[in-house]
Amino acid sequence: MDHSPADWRHAEPLVDRASPMIDPFGRAVTYLRVSVTDRCDFRCTYCMAENMTFLPKKDLLTLEELDRLCSAFIAKGVRKLRLTGGEPLVRKNIMHLVRGLSRHLGSGLDELTLTTNGSQLVRHAAELADCGVRRINVSIDTLDPAKFKEITRWGELEKVLEGIRAAQAAGIGIKLNAVALKDFNEHEIPELLRFAHGEGMDLTLIETMPMGETGEDRTDQYLPLSLVRQKLEEQFTLDEIPYRTGGPARYVEVKETGGRLGFITPLTHNFCESCNRVRLTCTGTLYMCLGQDDAADLRTALRASDDDAYLSAAIDEAISRKPKGHDFIIDRNHRKPAVARHMSVTGG
């Protein structure tokens, strides 16, 4: 059951912080991304098939179990926690989990944030801010309402824009994420940039990733960000800056707008050498790399014992298998996904 008693939401983590997570390549794991649901109210063409088969609800971790797992990771050195999906805000009673996890802010956890499609923000923005969420990522690939409906299959642009305004009114900073797609939005990117910066938001561009069958040929969608950057430099002055948010984006400052522009380039220039992230699914599976299939079953460890030392040992074993990097390739010889699972399963 997803209702969470008050004592759970204020419980202290049981694991000792004496065991930080260092992978085989000397990288400290300080960033956990948690997919709280594989469900979404959109069906973006680069992320999902139109007719998705979602996990049975009985397979999902309860909110209490998600809290316990996240708390164990925080006790082991995670400083940044991002809730993802699917669409995290469609999970029933999700704000119970957000409020519960917010107890760690200032006592181990530096940031609690989420990635959302924005469709539910009007309803939840004020409470997110009250829980200490200071910034969120909103995915938006076009400012054309008809094209937005086309790429999301089910989404309404105005509803997302209303959500963004509600979040800003609540004092939450917004970063827009846009997947660069050939022959779809490549000519709109300057407009997206001006819109984001004009509204006080950063913009990050992302290369499409070969994950899961979506009914689309990714060789037709794939747009290298190296080409996007060349085109942008015909209109804008892009100055390299050292700004980092803890994720894989590399940022420039756009002289003409004064705003920041990020690039996430898993294909043209992978970011594995500095990877500090692991991803937990809503069923308790831990993926040590977004682009590899090796995973650890933490649900069994979670349910096998109330002793968090057992869970801590299972996490350590998983981190010891974190690979050096992923193997994403998109070209005419690699039409099939690099991994079979959809992005919505692992968490974007």
Binding residues for GTP: 33, 82, 115, 175, 277-279
- The CA-atom distances, in angstroms, between 163 and each of 9, 47, 118, 124, 136 are 27, 21, 6, 9, 12
CB 335 within 8 A of CB 28: no
CB 94 within 8 A of CB 88: yes
Q: What is the dihedral of CA 18, 290, 246, 314, to 10 degrees?
A: -10
Residue partners of 300: CB distance under 8 A and separation at least 6: 284
Rounded Cα–Cα distance for residues 203 and 200 (Å): 10
Binding residue numbers for S-adenosyl-L-methionine = 46, 86, 139, 209
Written as one letter, the residue type at 215 is G
CB 222 within 8 A of CB 207: yes
- The CA-atom distances, in angstroms, between 63 and each of 67, 97, 284 are 6, 6, 11
Rounded Cα–Cα distance for residues 210 and 47 (Å): 9
Placement of tokens 């829980």 in the chain: 131
Placement of tokens 């690699």 in the chain: 334
Binding residue numbers for [4Fe-4S] cluster = 40, 44, 47, 272, 275, 289
Listed residue (100, 75, 79) closest to 32, CA to CA = 79
Listed residue (197, 193, 199) closest to 163, CA to CA = 199
Binding residue numbers = 33, 40, 44, 46-47, 82, 86, 115, 139, 175, 209, 272, 275, 277-279, 289
Rounded Cα–Cα distance for residues 322 and 225 (Å): 27
Three-state secondary structure call for residue 259: coil
Sign of CA dihedral 191, 193, 197, 201: positive
